[in-house]
Every structure is written in structure tokens, then in C-alpha cells.
Amino acid sequence: MVDLMISATAAHIPTTIEGVDVAIDVEFNPSRGPPYIRKRVRCPLAHHPNCFKYRNVNMGTQMDVVGFLGCWLQNGRNYSDRVSHMKWRPQPVAVQLYLDSCGLAAE
């Protein structure tokens, strides 16, 4: 488990997205399969307390993960409350537009 954590930390840059620190969670519930790693960001909006989004690092390339979380953070102001923001999942087209806008177009 510790090895997983170290390799995830080393291999997965950046450590911030949209100015928000990226946390790394190692999830392991033996009844639900092998351990997996996910990145987590916390929404900075004051009226969204405890608003988080997670992305499994195996969901596509590193840029896909950064794009998904960055797009989610960037659009937070469009959601009036935490619940609707946390429910929203950026679609691939929106993620790609976000990456393009950051000059991070996928390889």
C-alpha cells in the first residue's frame, strides 16, 4: 500500500489544479476488489462547504484526470449549492475544451 502511494505521488503531477492542492487517496475495501488510487480536490467556493471531487487515476491518462478535476473546479460557480456541484460530472467534450484553454491539449 505504501509503495502504491509513493509511486502515485511521484508519477502524477501536478500537485495543484486551478490553484487548489490535489490530495491522493488510496482506497482499499477488500470486499470491493483491489486497492486503487484517486486524486481529490476540494472546491474553494465559500458557499460550498465540504465540496469535493474525486477521480480514479486509472481513468485515462494523467491529462484526463487533470482535465476532469480542473474542469470541475472551474465550473463550480455555475452551481448554486454543494450537492449539485458534487453531482456534476464533466463530460469528455468539456474536459477537452478545458485542457485546450489551458494549453494542455492531450498528446
Residues 71, 100 contacting (CB under 8 angstroms): no
DSSP 65-99: HHHHHHHHHHTGGG-SSHHHHHH----HHHHHHHH
Q: Which residues in the 76-95 window bind Zn ion by CB under 5 A?
A: 76, 85
What Å distances lie between residue 106 and 8, 21, 63, 64, CA to CA?
20, 22, 6, 8
Q: Of the two residues 37 and 41, which places its CB atom closer to Zn ion in the complex?
A: 41
- Shortest distance (Å) from residue 5 CB to Zn ion: 26
- Shortest distance (Å) from residue 37 CB to Zn ion: 23
Binding segment toward Zn ion, per CB under 5 A, in 10-18, 45-53, 62-70, 97-105: 45-53
Binder among 22, 43, 73, 99 for Zn ion (CB under 5 A): 43
Question: In the complex, which residues of this chain contact Zn ion (CB under 5 A)?
Answer: 43, 45, 48, 51, 76, 85
